[in-house]
Amino acid sequence: MVALPSRHKSLVLLAGVIVLQILMLAVQIKRDSQGRLIRVWTVGAVSPFERAGSNGFGWVRDTWRHYFALQNTTRENEQIRRENDALKLQLSQLQGKAADADRLAALLNFRQSHAEVPMIAARVIGVGAGTASVTIDRGERAGIRKDMGVITPDGVVGKVVETYPNAAQVLLLTDKDSGVGAMLADSRIQSPVGGQGEPLLLMKYVPNDDDVNLGERVITSGMDRIFPRDLPVGTVAEIKSGNPFKLIRIKPAANLERLEEVLVLLSLRPLEMKNEESSGDAQPSAPSAPSSKPAVRR
Amino acid sequence: MNDAFDIRGESHIEVHKFRTGAIIIATLLALLIQSSFPIHFAKAAVLDFPLLVTIYFGLSRRNPSTGLLLGMFIGLLQDSLSGPTVPLGLYGIAKTIIGYLASSIGARLDTEHPAARFALTFAFFITHQGLIVVTRRILLAQPEPWFNMHLIVAALVNALVAVFLFLLLDRLRKN
């Protein structure tokens, strides 16, 4: 047998490892399998540390924002400053807790006002690389399944694309592969809204003849059978004429770049929502002017 | 430690050893920071800590076989943590090649000088993104732009962070 020089050995190893990974990619495309077992093991092993890391970073951030960033404001009296700094530190911790409490209270209010819709709150514990996705700290054991919708009280966030026992991955609306059935709140023109891999979303199929106004609200249409009708998607931020459709850019209603807590809609069946103002009547919901806080019914 | 960035014979380049578990812990920490940091600091998404760790250990260990295997390991873990829209192998292939290149270059050049580290990280970052674009376009048939200004800015930021991160990681070396 011919012995390979050590330099060639590493080249052969490189070629072997690359070919192996290309084959792995090919298998995933061909069989539409996504290496679930490897992902389950990896996410299962890493998500407890992600949880701890997320909490740790949150504490550091709050301390930085509310304490260190303000520290240069006074140098007049060392003694008073020291006391002041200690108080600021205490205050920053309280502010951090208060901000957390506010966010959680908003989630709780939203959850309580839509008690008939099964949903569960989850905390964002990780961010995916090369794609607009996040990992949340609830998974199959909490009843979360693939394709469930994810929202915040501000609006639509995305949908669950993978679940693990104690975690799930959520594809954000801003990802190129993401989309939601939507319509313009005033004109009721329906068109899907999709991500482009950048902060603004794109509404593609609105004819040039239709009137669309800057700042107009975009809400879910319910046509995707994932999200209930009338949830806020965003607002029209830019309108350009295209051929044959307008190019409408939408600013997402939910702050997708700073997600900390989300709500997962625990249903794969289509849900219906009606406007709060029309929920008191026996009349069917009017097709115009939905309120910003829509009521939900199954 | 020589601060010069000079080309030397392979036999004169020092191969650095690390404390027990240092490579594994640094790798896992990099993956953890990569997935947790951007939740609280959105702009931190521009940093690629797993890539920086791959480059650092490749340059320091100077063994192409271990460099490419470490790159593959880190890349596949990053793929696993990134959800099903990132197929297993996308970052794996890119980081395997970067691990190989870094350790091959590390075996030929003295890469201890901060300027050398800055330049190499800049070049490796661009190469890494290029490999991902090639994989996406050719193997996965996904549209992906070849070049944009964001890439250059991201490469510069990563190169700058690498200079300081590598100094920190130097402390893990056995003297």
Put simply, whether B145 touches A (Cβ < 8 Å) is no
Residues from chain A contacting residue B90 (CB–CB below 8 Å): 25, 130
pLDDT at A229: 81
Higher pLDDT, A211 or A4: A211
Give the residue carrying structure tokens 């959105």: B42
* Residue A158 vs residues A106, A155, A286, B158: alpha-carbon distances, Å: 19, 10, 27, 29
Contact A125 B91 (CB under 8 A): no
Are B99 and B71 contacting, i.e. CB atoms less than 8 angstroms apart?
yes
- The pLDDT of B109-127, averaged and rounded, is 91
pLDDT at A295: 30
A288 band by pLDDT with thresholds 50, 70 and 90:
very low
For residue B64, the chain A residue with the least C-alpha distance is: A10
Burial class (CB in 10 A: 0-12, 13-18, 19+), A70: middle
Query: Is the confidence at residue B34, as pLDDT, over 80?
Result: yes
Tell me the C-alpha distance between B166 and A59, whole Å: 26
B133 band by pLDDT with thresholds 50, 70 and 90:
very high
Q: Which of B65, B86, B139 sits opposite A129 (nearest CB)?
A: B86
Put simply, whether B39 touches A (Cβ < 8 Å) is yes
Are A53 and B132 contacting, i.e. CB atoms less than 8 angstroms apart?
no
Instruction: Tell which A residues from 177 to 216 touch B, by Cβ distance under 8 Å.
Output: 177
Whether ipTM > 0.90 holds is no
Quote the minimal CA–CA distance from B132 to chain A in Å. Answer: 9
Instruction: Identify the bridge partners of residue A126 per DSSP, sorted by sequence position.
Output: A135
Tell me the C-alpha distance between A294 and A231, whole Å: 7
The reported pTM is 0.67
Instruction: Tell which A residues from 213 to 252 touch B, by Cβ distance under 8 Å.
Output: none
Q: CB within 8 A of A25, min separation 6: which ones?
A: B87, B88, B89, B90, B93, B135, B139, B140
pLDDT tens, position by position, B47-78: 999 999 999 999 988 889 999 999 999 999 88
Give the residue carrying structure tokens 């000088």: B113
Put simply, whether A137 touches B (Cβ < 8 Å) is no
Residues from chain B contacting residue A258 (CB–CB below 8 Å): 39, 42
Residues from chain B contacting residue A41 (CB–CB below 8 Å): 80
Nearest Cα to A248, choosing from A289, A287, A217? A217
Give the residue carrying structure tokens 């603004």: A200
Using left for φ > 0, alpha for ψ between -120 and 50, and beta otherwise, residue A158 falls in left
- The pLDDT of A184-212, averaged and rounded, is 87
Higher pLDDT, B89 or A116: B89
Q: CB within 8 A of A276, min separation 6: which ones?
A: A291, A293, A294, A295
Instruction: Tell which A residues from 109 to 128 touch B, by Cβ distance under 8 Å.
Output: 124-128
Question: Three-state secondary structure along chain A?
Answer: CCCCCHHHHHHHHHHHHHHHHHHHHHHHHHHCCCCHHHHHHHHHHHHHHHHHHHHHHHHHHHHHHHCHHHHHHCCCCHHHHHHHHHHHHHHHHHHHHHHHHHHHHHHHHHHHHCCCCCEEEEEEEEECCCCCEEEECCCHHHCCCCCCEEEECCEEEEEEEEEECCEEEEEECCCCCCEEEEEECCCCCEEEEECCCCCCEEEEEEECCCCCCCCCEEEECCCCCCCCCCCEEEEEEEEECCCCEEEEEEEECCCCCCCCEEEEECCCCCCEEECHHHHCCCCCCCCCCCCCCCEEEC
Put simply, whether A43 touches B (Cβ < 8 Å) is yes
For residue A53, the chain B residue with the least C-alpha distance is: B36
Put simply, whether B66 touches A (Cβ < 8 Å) is no
**What average pLDDT is seen over chain A?**
77
Put simply, whether A49 touches B (Cβ < 8 Å) is yes
Instruction: Tell which B residues from 79 to 98 touch A, by Cβ distance under 8 Å.
Output: 80-93, 96-97
CA count, 13 A, side-chain hemisphere, A44: 10
Higher pLDDT, A10 or A291: A10
Residues from chain A contacting residue B36 (CB–CB below 8 Å): 50, 53-54, 57, 125-127
Residues from chain A contacting residue B45 (CB–CB below 8 Å): 127
- The pLDDT of B135-145, averaged and rounded, is 83
Quote the minimal CA–CA distance from B87 to chain A in Å. Answer: 6
For the ranges A31-35, A143-147, A243-247, which has the lowest average pLDDT?
A31-35
pLDDT tens, position by position, A21-66: 888 888 777 666 556 667 777 777 777 777 777 777 777 777 776 6
Tell me the C-alpha distance between B173 and B169, whole Å: 8
Torsion of CA A203, A162, A136, A236, to 10 degrees: 0
Tell me the C-alpha distance between B73 and B87, whole Å: 15
Burial class (CB in 10 A: 0-12, 13-18, 19+), B113: middle
Instruction: Enumerate the domain spans of chain B.
Output: 15-170
Q: Which of B70, B77, B81, B151 to probe the A interface (max A CBs under 10 A)? A: B81
Put simply, whether A171 touches B (Cβ < 8 Å) is yes
For the ranges A48-52, A178-182, A251-255, which has the lowest average pLDDT?
A48-52
The domain defined by B15-170 folds into: Arp2/3 complex 21 kDa subunit ARPC3 (1.10.1760)
Q: What percent of chain A has pLDDT over 90?
A: 16
Tell me the C-alpha distance between B19 and B38, whole Å: 29
Q: Is the dihedral of CA A21, A25, A30, A34 positive or negative?
A: positive
Quote the minimal CA–CA distance from A76 to chain B in Å. Answer: 33
Residues from chain A contacting residue B46 (CB–CB below 8 Å): none
Nearest Cα to A273, choosing from A223, A227, A243, A230? A230
Nearest Cα to A175, choosing from A198, A193, A157, A192? A198
